[in-house]
Structure 1
Amino acid sequence: MIRAAMIAMLSLSVGGCFEDAVVEKPDPVAMTAEAVGHYCQMNVLEHEGPKAQIHLAGLLAPLWFSQVRDAVVYTRLPEETAEITAIYVNDMGRAESWAEPGDANWVDADEAYFVIDSRQTGGMGVPETIPFGVRSAAETFVSQHGGKIVRFAEIPEDYVLSPVDTVSSGESGVPAQ
């Protein structure tokens, strides 16, 4: 009886240690030709504009998104219940061009400045949430392409969840730097 009580107490104390464990935030992963969009199942490199990667607890590889907007949608859907450990987006202020957003210029989504409501559409032909690592780059982009600057948590749900008409192409060109 005493032995059973000791085992039960030990199990409870060890179990409590795991409950308090903090999942370490992973580093961003460089985008490669093997990166496939979570929703569209297409190679993310086939689409222009910024990309996103979401890291989930227990998974080694991130989920990839062909548009940052799609990553924002993922975080707003009630059926997506996996624990998100990190979200990274292309810093378009450091992008070579709209067509070449970069494979290693990632910024934490919580630290980024996003331009919404601009004339620039994303790689899937719908309005995009365009990320920048510094506010001044986002301001320059707004002065050239319109829109407004928000932080990740401020992106309106209706901006990413409302139905939109797709267009064949939006404004093109090099993002403001």
Structure 2
Amino acid sequence: MKKLLLLSALLLIACKEELAEAPDPMPLTAENVAHYCMMNISEHPGPKAQIFLSGVPDPIFFAQVRDAFTYLASAEQDGYVAAVYVNDMSTVSWDRPGAENWMLAQNAHYVVGSDKPGGMGAPELVPFSDPARALAFASRYGGAIYEKHEVPEQSFLAPVDLMFGQEENG
């Protein structure tokens, strides 16, 4: 019993230390470029994401939340992820997603499958802190609402034909 209590206490301490390591999100600036395309992300509409890797002081920025999910699921992601932040779209507009309205990705409600393309023209995962705002967005633009762990992989791993804004069928 003592060993079980000791193990539980150690796990709790480790968990608290892991949470303490998570850096604060960085404000979006005109100098930030998207990880995949190296384009200035403030010039593109829709929500953005940033990922901090352990031991790296600056985040990796993404022009679309979808791209961040793809990165997390890819073999390219070889570092320990310290934190993932997404724009909270609850109180901002599509064309001005905000520079400092970041929230932890795991706390967001995501609208998936809407007809609003993301900043790079691909389908987007639209994050909201407020589930009522997510529902209002989905009612207006289509899509379904998911928690982070429920977002279907097909929504961010499926190939996209950007010339026509349609997913490929093959």
Say yes or no: TM over 0.5: yes
Runs of at least 5 residues in structure 1 that lack an aligned partner in the other structure: 1-19, 170-177
Moved more, 44-53 or 71-80: 71-80
Contact 1:126 1:167 in 2 (8 A): no
- Whether 1:136 and 2:132 are equivalent positions in the alignment is yes
Q: CA deviation at 1:79?
A: 3.3
Q: Which structure has the larger Rg?
A: 1
Alignment partners' CA distance in 2, 1:58 and 1:126: 31
**Pairwise mapping of residues 108-127 of structure 1 onto structure 2 (< 5 A)?**
108-127=104-123
More strand by share: 2
- Whether 1:77 and 2:63 are equivalent positions in the alignment is no
- The equivalent of 1:166 in structure 2 is 162
Q: Percent identity?
A: 46
Alignment partners' CA distance in 2, 1:164 and 1:39: 15
Tell me the matched-pair count: 150
**Pairwise mapping of residues 94-109 of structure 1 onto structure 2 (< 5 A)?**
94-95=91-92, 97-109=93-105
Q: CA deviation at 1:164?
A: 1.2
Moved more, 79-88 or 60-69: 79-88
- Whether 1:50 and 2:50 are equivalent positions in the alignment is no
- Write the letter of the residue equivalent to 1:66: A
Spell out, residue by residue over 1:71-118, the C-alpha distance to the aligned partner (whole angstroms, 9 max, x if none).
0001111331200011110011121x2111000011110000000011
| TM-score, normalization by structure 2 | 0.83
Contact 1:55 1:63 in 2 (8 A): yes
**CA RMSD across the alignment:** 1.8
- The equivalent of 1:27 in structure 2 is 24
Spell out, residue by residue over 1:104-154, the C-alpha distance to the aligned partner (whole angstroms, 9 max, x if none).
011110000000011111011110000001111100101111100001111
Alignment partners' CA distance in 1, 2:91 and 2:78: 32
Spell out, residue by residue over 1:49-70, the C-alpha distance to the aligned partner (whole angstroms, 9 max, x if none).
0000001101110000000000
Runs of at least 5 residues in structure 2 that lack an aligned partner in the other structure: 1-13, 166-170
Q: Secondary structure at the match of 1:85?
A: strand
| TM-score, normalization by structure 1 | 0.80
Contact 1:68 1:129 in 2 (8 A): yes
Moved more, 77-86 or 43-52: 77-86
Alignment partners' CA distance in 2, 1:46 and 1:102: 12
- The equivalent of 1:8 in structure 2 is none
Q: CA deviation at 1:45?
A: 0.5
Q: Secondary structure at the match of 2:124?
A: coil
